[in-house]
Amino acid sequence: MLVGDNPASKVYVSSKIAACEKLGLASIQVAPPATITTAELLAIVEDLNRRDDVDGILVQLPLPPQVDAKKILDAVDPAKDVDGFHPVNVGRLQSGQPGLAPCTPAGIMEILRRSGLPVAGQNAVVVGRSDIVGKPAALMLLNASATVTVCHSKTIDLPRFTRQADLLVAAIGRPGFVTAEMVKPGATLIDVGINRVTDADEVEEFFPGDAGRAATFAKRGSVVVGDIHPAAFASAGAYTPVPGGVGALTIAMLMQNTVTAAKLRRGILSEKKREKN
């Protein structure tokens, strides 16, 4: 569900539709105008909830300011909530029960699992406390037996915490915010940030001598940088690049949630079997 003409949202939705096509999943784009009211959007959600041929509902954020986003997200059937935002699915995550989990944090855990990187017993620091990434990422790491600290914009002496992290997740939405001096040598760095830099001096500061980035900036007028300063990667034990890291896994986990929702709704995959998997 894509409301209005937000350019970034259009790009994100297009990439999700492309992923569906690649995997052979049917996708329907519902695109009401930016002038839509909360009541009108709720009616669309209720119609999708009732449709048996729809297994997953994704409401692309942000919504226009006149729309009550929380009311819209809460109206989505938890069984079709492939974004994992509904309070029922949040509660399942908090209590360690199987459910449809938020896609970006789930992608982080998949990266760690597939890379064979340790989580249990590790000191994990999450920088950022959003409902979409920071909080659920902290819960997933805690459920995986990491010792978790959540930091945010009001944290006093942030580097004191980040330098103790064996596993650092940066999801604060500020370009290059976590510097090399804030990182423990050998740490695993998970960069969730996607920030567009449009100042030539900043591009040179983040990517000194990088001809490829300079060419991209000359062509597009911007380059993408994460929340972790690229200089910090030199001493990391492992890290996710930006672009090409967590973002790709976010879409993959959305696809996985959709298939899981379809199976659960049809009794193909029971909650008990899923928990064992």
* Structure confidence at residue 276 as a pLDDT band (50, 70, 90): very low
pLDDT digits (tens, 9 = 90+) for 237-258: 999 999 889 989 999 999 999 9
Q: Is 273 a catalytic residue?
A: no
pLDDT digits (tens, 9 = 90+) for 102-121: 999 999 999 999 999 999 99
Whether 146 maps to a domain, the answer reads: yes
How far apart, in whole angstroms, are the C-alpha atoms of residue 176 and residue 88? Answer: 35
Residues 37, 145, single domain; the answer is no
Q: What is the pTM of this model?
A: 0.90
Give the number of domains in the chain.
2
Residues 71, 169, single domain; the answer is no
Whether 253 maps to a domain, the answer reads: no
Residues 73, 108, single domain; the answer is no
Whether 250 maps to a domain, the answer reads: no
CA angle 89, 2, 260 (to 5 degrees): 35
Whether 22 maps to a domain, the answer reads: yes
Q: How far is CA 231 from CA 200, 228, 239, in A?
A: 18, 8, 12
* Structure confidence at residue 8 as a pLDDT band (50, 70, 90): confident
Edge-first strand listing for the sheet containing 188-191:
147-151, 123-127, 167-170, 188-191, 238-239
Answer for the pair 82, 60: CB distance below 8 angstroms, yes or no. Answer: no
% pLDDT > 70, the chain? 97
**Straight-line distance from the first to the last Cα atom of the chain, in angstroms, rounded to the nearest whole number:** 30
Q: Is 81 a catalytic residue?
A: no
Residues 68, 119, single domain; the answer is no
Catalytic residue among 55, 77, 83, 166: 83
Q: Answer yes or no: is pLDDT of 216 > 60.
A: yes
How far apart, in whole angstroms, are the C-alpha atoms of residue 45 and residue 39? Answer: 10
Label residue 227 exposed, middle or buried (CB < 10 Å: 0-12, 13-18, 19+). buried
Domain enclosing residue 110, as ranges: 103-245
Whether 271 maps to a domain, the answer reads: no
The mean per-residue pLDDT over the stretch 122-129 comes to 98
How far apart, in whole angstroms, are the C-alpha atoms of residue 195 and residue 188? Answer: 21
Residues 181, 240, single domain; the answer is yes
Residues 200, 77, single domain; the answer is no
Residues 200, 153, single domain; the answer is yes
CATH number at residue 54: 3.40.50.10860
Residues 144, 220, single domain; the answer is yes
pLDDT digits (tens, 9 = 90+) for 190-201: 999 999 999 999
Catalytic residue among 60, 81, 135, 184: 60
Q: Is 60 a catalytic residue?
A: yes
pLDDT at 97: 85
pLDDT digits (tens, 9 = 90+) for 43-102: 999 999 999 999 999 999 999 999 999 999 999 999 999 999 999 999 999 998 888 999
Give the residue, 269 or 47, on which the prediction is more confident.
47
Whether 147 maps to a domain, the answer reads: yes
Count CB atoms within 10 A of the CB of residue 89: 23
Residues 168, 227, single domain; the answer is yes
Residues 62, 170, single domain; the answer is no
